[in-house]
Structures are given as structure tokens and as C-alpha cells.
Structure 1
Amino acid sequence: MRLAALALLLMLLPSCGLRPLYAGGSDGAVANALGSVEVEPIAGRGGWLVRNALQDRLQPLGAGAPRYRLTVKLDDDIEGFGVRSDDALTRERRTLRARYQLTDLTSGDIILDATEGSDAGIDVVGSEYAVIAAENTALENLAERLAGQIVTRLSARARAAP
């Protein structure tokens, strides 16, 4: 009975419509499109971190001439909340948002205009050094997460393109 159910599920699997995003590996359409994206410099420390994370994800996929330009504008905000009775903060939230555009360099058309964002909670402790270190670590983690979200969106867009 179990074997028959498993066989039925295996027969239905090819008809589910799922296709691998990176079909063809480094020679596939998505990898070629991502490998031809040039990332413009992004202002600020967070911008430097996001740009490096994007380049780490995109550059290994291709070494040809850029066909697309990715322009990213960041909004980095730290908001305090969680106030004790003596008006001291106990928690902070660091939010990193990106608005980005993918432009076709040959035609100048904007192919993708989107936003992504992420946030992280930070404990505010008695040591100012520890709080600054936690804020910097949160920024590094958010930059990596944001770059991953952007590359995922670019990959989905490249897969959907004719």
C-alpha cells in the first residue's frame, strides 16, 4: 500500500510545474543574466556592505560585459523602544530598506523597480561599546539578508524574462 502511494506521488511530481530556478547551472539563462549585472556604488557603510554582498553573489556567475545596471538606495534607521521606568532604552530595532532599479544598459529601460527590507532587534545593555558592536553586527547581518533578497528577486525576474 505504501509503495503504491509512493509510486503515485512520484508520477505526479513531474506534472507539478516546478522548474529549477538555476537550470543549466552556470551556463543557464538565470546565471548568465545575473552574471551580467553591474552594481553601482551605494552611499554609506551599509551601502558598502550591501554592494559587497551583492557582488559576492553576482560576480562568480559571469565575467562578461555588463548588460544591466543595478542602482540601490538604502534607508538605514535605528529606533529605540522598550523603555524602563527611568526612561532608559532596553531595546532598539535596526531597519534596513532598499529601493532598487535594474536598468538595461542597451536600451536604458528600467526592467525592475522594487523594494526589499529587513530588521533586527538589539538589546541595549549598560556597556556603550557592546551596544555599538551589536548595532554594527546587526547592520552586517541585515546587509547580507538584503543582498540575498535582491538576488532572489533578480533571479525570479530573469527566469520569467523571455
Structure 2
Amino acid sequence: MRRLVPTLALALVLALPLGACGLKPMYAGGTGGAIAQGLSAIDVSEMPGRAGWLMHSALVDKLGSGQRTGPARYRLDVRLDDKLEGLGLLSDDTVTRERRTLRARYQLVDLATGAIVLDETVGLDAGIDVVSSEYATIAAENTALENLAKEVADRIVTRIALKLRTLDEAAR
């Protein structure tokens, strides 16, 4: 018991500066918060192909654009580059390993002014084992594309949220 009191006092003293560290929750206020409202006010432009469909769906889900009640304030334009290339070769020129790369160049456009608020590129890749079953290889390629689209969409939304927070703080 004698050791517990000094330990608790030390923990309390060390915890006091944390309140003044400047950290602010990104999504304070839940769906009614400034960042969540800003994200839901983004229209996502259509993208061609299977990768485009997957990316568009992931972005709309993560941004919450489907639950928007008012008009859009921003438009998100995304150009995708999806590549699938063979890496490992056997002596008979058979591919044993593939790499799927998904890169996205995106621009966040303010619809009121036409100004580009954010212009960046993000990309990821995934390794795929080529096995004797063609079906299994195609399934692995498709799964890799689905996972890459979700992860790239996550990174895009995180970066947009950070930019919206910066804009919100500058407006105050």
C-alpha cells in the first residue's frame, strides 16, 4: 500500500502535461463534426475499368458521400494506373511471381472557386504467387486489386481529412 500511493501520485503528475500537448481528435463531433461534414461534401468522379469501379466504391463508402444531405462542396478526381507484371521466371520462361501495382493521382477541387485544394499521388503494390491452377492465380490477382483499392482509398481519405482540418483551422 505504501508503494501504491507514490506510484499513483507520479502517474497523476506525468499525466497532467498531456492535456496541453496540442493533440486534437480528427473526427471530434462524430458525423456532425467539421471533418466528417467536409468529407461527406465530396463528390467522387467516375473512373473507368474494374479498378476504377472498386476505387470509386471504396471512396464513396469511406467519405460518407452517400449520406450527404446538402450539395457537394468539393469534387475528387482520381486517375488510376493499374499494372500487373511478372517477376519470378523459371528456366522455361514460366512466371512464378507477379506484382500488382495500383497508383492513384488525385485532385480535390473546390466547386465554388474551381481551385485545386489538394493534388497528390499515392500508390501501393502487392505480390502474387502464380500457382499451377489458373483459377487460383486469377482469384489472387482480383483479391490483390480489391485490397489495393481499399488501402489506396484509405490513404486518400486520410490525406484529404488532414487537408480539411488544416483548412478548417485556417478559417477560424
Range class of TM-score, shorter chain: over 0.9
| Rounded Cα–Cα distance in structure 1 between residues aligned with 2:24 and 2:93 | 54
User: How much has 1:79 moved relative to structure 2?
Assistant: 1.6
| Structure 2 unmatched runs, 5+ | 1-5
Q: Which has the larger radius of gyration?
A: 2
The Cα RMSD (Å) is 1.2
| Rounded Cα–Cα distance in structure 2 between residues aligned with 1:33 and 1:63 | 12
- Superposed CA offset, 1:83-132 (max 9, x none): 22332211111010000000000100000001111111100001111111
| 2:30 equivalent in structure 1 | 25
- Superposed CA offset, 1:23-64 (max 9, x none): 121111111110100000011100000000100112256321
Matched, 1:138 2:141: no
Matched, 1:116 2:122: yes
Matched, 1:81 2:87: yes
| Rounded Cα–Cα distance in structure 1 between residues aligned with 2:166 and 2:14 | 27
Q: Which runs of 4+ in 1 moved over 4 A?
A: none
Matches within 5 A, 1:91-130: 91-130=97-136
Taking only the aligned residue pairs, the percentage that are identical comes to 56
Matches within 5 A, 1:61-72: 62-72=68-78
| Structure 1 unmatched runs, 5+ | none
| 1:158 equivalent in structure 2 | 164
| Rounded Cα–Cα distance in structure 2 between residues aligned with 1:87 and 1:99 | 34
Secondary structure at 2:148's aligned position in 1? helix
Q: What is the TM-score with the length of structure 2 in the denominator?
A: 0.90
